[in-house]
């Protein structure tokens, strides 16, 4: 696989794509049901990115391109998962979604976040957590910028409603984007 790309292309991949690993893992962990699924999704994302690196347009936003690949991989895996019926018992570690050191407010926020629709979670992760601009988030999701703004507004409204007054304080800090 390495031999298909020129040395310059390999260096570009290392410089542009590899630094995004932590951000992709963070987002995959929130979108997937387990650490294993998240790691698989990120690995598949990088394999796809490597495979299609020649088609990546230099000068465009590599981060947005990688997130678009990641979300497509996650959607594909979710579709495959729905068509597969497991006969194994679910692992308890895959059912618990909180950090032991997290405060109650953080736990509540994560619990409510997990209840958002897939589209709303994507946009919140990109704009609020990863601090992408609306334009870059739109590129990553392949939707118009207005759609990103609309989804983000609906997601914030839903989070506020579910969390009550406490959610207003933590979400209002990110609304100045």
Q: How far is CA 66 from CA 82, 120, 151, in A?
A: 24, 18, 20
CB burial of residue 128 (10 Å; 0-12, 13-18, 19+): buried
List every span in the chain annotated with CATH 1.10.1740.10: 1-94
Q: What is the CATH number of domain 97-177?
A: 1.10.10.10
| Cβ-Cβ contacts under 8 Å for 139 (sequence gap 6 or more) | 60, 61, 64, 65, 68
| pLDDT value of residue 16 | 92
Task: Give the model's confidence band at 82: pLDDT under 50 very low, under 70 low, under 90 confident, else very high.
Answer: low
More confident position, 105 or 103 = 105
Q: pTM for the full model?
A: 0.62
| pLDDT value of residue 176 | 46
Q: How many other C-beta atoms lie within 10 A of the C-beta of residue 78? A: 15
Q: Which residue has the tokens 């996650």?
A: 74
Q: Assign 3-state DSSP to the chain and report helix, strand, coil percentages, each to 5.
A: 75, 0, 25
Distance of CA 158 to the CA centre of its chain: 19
Reply yes or no on whether the pLDDT at 43 is more than 90: yes
| pLDDT value of residue 171 | 52
List every span in the chain annotated with CATH 1.10.10.10: 97-177
| pLDDT value of residue 4 | 72
Determine the average pLDDT of the residues in 153-169.
74
More confident position, 1 or 112 = 112
Q: Fold for 1-94, please state it.
A: Rna Polymerase Sigma Factor; Chain: A (1.10.1740)
């Amino acid at each position: 696989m390495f031999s298909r790309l020129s040395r310059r292309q390999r260096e570009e991949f290392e410089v542009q794509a590899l630094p995004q690993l932590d951000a992709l893992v963070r987002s995959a962990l929130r979108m997937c049901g387990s650490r294993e699924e998240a790691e698989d999704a990120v690995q598949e994302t990088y394999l796809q990115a490597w495979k299609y690196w020649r088609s990546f347009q230099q000068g465009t936003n590599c981060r947005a391109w990688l997130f678009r690949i990641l979300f497509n991989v996650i959607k594909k895996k979710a579709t495959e998962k729905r068509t597969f019926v497991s006969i194994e018992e679910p692992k308890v570690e895959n059912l618990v979604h909180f950090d032991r050191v997290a405060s109650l407010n953080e736990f509540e926020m994560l619990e409510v976040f997990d209840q958002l629709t897939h589209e709303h979670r994507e946009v919140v992760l990109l704009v609020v957590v990863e601090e992408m601009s609306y334009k870059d988030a739109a590129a990553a999701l392949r939707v118009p910028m207005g759609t990103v703004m609309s989804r983000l507004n609906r997601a914030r409204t839903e989070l506020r409603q579910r969390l009550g007054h406490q959610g207003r304080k933590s979400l209002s800090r990110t609304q100045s984007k």
